[in-house]
Amino acid sequence: MSSGALAGIKVIEFGQMVSAPFCAKLFSDFGADVIKVEPPQGDAARHTGPFPHDEPDPEKSGLFFINNTNKRGITCDVNTEAGRALFLRLLEWADVLIENNLPRQMREWRLDYDHIADVNADLVVISITPFGQTGPYSGWNAYDLNAYHLSGASSRYCGRPGEMPLEHGTFAADYFGAVTASTWGMAAVYGRDVVGGGQQVDVSCAEAIAAAFVGGQNIGGYAQEGVFDKRTGVGMPQGAPATILPCKDGHVWMLALEPGQWNGLREVMGNPEWADLDLFQDMFMRAQNADVIYPFIEEWTMQHSKMEIMEKCQAAGCPITAVFTIAEAAEHPHLAARDYFVNIDHPALGEVRNLGAPFKLPACPGGPNTPAPLLGQHNSEVYGEILGLATHEIEHLDADGIL
C-alpha cells in the first residue's frame, strides 16, 4: 500500500493461525507493507476453515481470509539452509518481524532474536506466544484457550458461583494479545531512535488477558490481602439492574445503576408501584434485593421487543441495549453507517463481506481493500523486486521445494 498512517513501514509476518496474522493485519490495514511468509504447505489457518458449504479448500478458509487482508504472500521453507538464507535477507530489508512461534522452535531455526539482531540491529521483533519468551511455561505447546484459563479469567468471569467455570470463546486471548502486540510493537518502531535501535517485544497472551480481563486489582489484591473477586453468574453483585433478561423477541442487557438511570427506567416501565420504594433508589440495595426486582422487570420486558426496550430506555437516559445475534450485528445500520463493513473480491471466494478498520483515523482511514493472498501469490514479485532474484532462480527454488 502506498498510503495510510503506517505507510513506509516494512513488515515481515512469520506466523500462523490468529495472533501474529491479526497483529500484522493491523499494520497492513493502515498502510504498512506486510509480506506474509508461509511454509510451502501454507498457514494452518488455511486448513482450519470455516469453509463455504463445509468443503475444505486452502484458498477459501474464512479464518485465513479475515486475518490476512492487504498483505503480500510468499512461501519459504526455513527448515532448509537456502530457505533460511532467503528469510534472513528479507529481514535485512524489514523494519518489523511479527511471529508467534514457540521460542524453542525459533532457536532450532536459528531465527531467535540473538541471531536476528546480528542481521538487522534496527529490526523490531514482535513475538506473541501464549506464555511469553521466558519462564517455566514458555516452551509449552499451548493454544489460545490455555492462555485464557491460566490467567484466572475463567474463574473470575465464566459460570455460576459454586459451579465449574465455563469455557470462553475461542481466540479471545490470541486477538487481545495481537492488539496489545501491535500497540507496543508500533511504539518500539517509532522509539528506535530513543532506545538506539531495534528490540524484541515479548507479548504473553495470558498476561495480556490477566491485566485487562482479570484486572490488576484482583491479582494485586490477592497478593496483598488474600482477597479477590470470583464469577457471580447472573448479574453484577454490586448494583442492579445489571444483567441480561429475556424479552419478547430475544434478550436485553438491562443496566440502570445511577439514580437518574433507575428513574428513567421506572418511567419507561410506567412507574410500577413496586419500584416506588425509597430503598430502591440505591443501586446497592437493589442488588441486595435482585431476586425480588428481576422477576418484576422480566415481567415487563417479556411484553416488549428488544429494539423497543432499547430505544425507549435510551431516550429516557438509561443505557440499556438489545443483545444482538451475529446475523443482526452483520446487518446493523449503526455499524454500516460507520463503514465497518467492506466488500472485497477474492479470486476463489468471489465477493466477500469483511470487517473494516477497528480504529478510526479520519485523516488517513485504514481498513482492508485487497483480499488475503493466495498461497505463494507474490513469490515472483517479492523475491524478484526485493531480493533481486532472476526468474530462473525463483523457478529453481520452487522446483527444489524451498518455496
Boundary residue ending a domain (328, 359, 377): 328
CA distances from 208 to 23, 133, 137 (A): 14, 14, 15
Question: In the chain, what is the straight-line distance between the N-terminal and C-terminal CA atoms, in Å?
Answer: 24
**Claim to verify: residue 74 and residue 35 sit in the same structural domain:** yes
- Pick the last residue of a domain from 271, 306, 328: 328
What is the C-alpha separation between 333 and 54, in angstroms, rounded? Answer: 29
Do 374 and 266 fall into the same domain?
A: no
0.85 cut: is pTM over it? yes
Cβ partners under 8 Å of residue 403, min gap 6: 40, 74, 75, 76, 77, 83, 376, 379, 383, 394, 397
Whether the CB-CB separation of 18 and 171 falls below 8 Å is answered with yes
Residue 209 and residue 90 share a domain: yes
The answer as to whether 218 is a domain residue is no
**Are 27 and 366 spatial neighbours (Cβ–Cβ below 8 Å)?**
no
- What is the β-pairing status of strands 96-99 and 124-129? parallel
Predicted confidence at residue 279, as pLDDT, reads 84
227 falls within a domain = no
Class of residue 115 by CB neighbours under 10 A (exposed 0-12, middle 13-18, buried 19+) = middle
In 3D space, the residue among 399, 351, 353, 352 whose CA is nearest the CA of residue 379 turns out to be 399
Asked whether residue 321 falls in the same domain as residue 362, the answer is no
Cell of 371: 483480499
264 and 316 inside one domain: yes
Same domain, 256 and 362: no
| Residues lower than pLDDT 70 in the chain | 1-2, 215-217
Residues 350 and 321 in one domain: no
The pLDDT score that the predictor gives to residue 216 is: 64
- Which tens digits make up the pLDDT trace of 335-381? 889 888 999 999 999 999 888 888 888 888 889 999 999 999 999 99
Please tell me the predicted confidence (pLDDT) of residue 1.
Answer: 44
Q: Are residues 56 and 32 in the same domain?
A: yes
Structural domain includes residue 70: yes
Contacts of 252 (CB under 8 A, 6+ apart): 244, 245, 301, 306, 309, 310, 320, 321, 322, 323
For the chain, state the CA radius of gyration.
Answer: 25
Domain that holds residue 288: 242-328
The percent helix, strand, coil of the chain (3-state, each to 5) is 45, 15, 40
Of 269, 302, 328, the position where a domain reaches its end is 328
CATH number at residue 293: 3.30.1540.10
**Residue at 289 is within a domain:** yes
The CATH number that applies at residue 14 is 3.40.50.10540
Domain total in the chain: 2
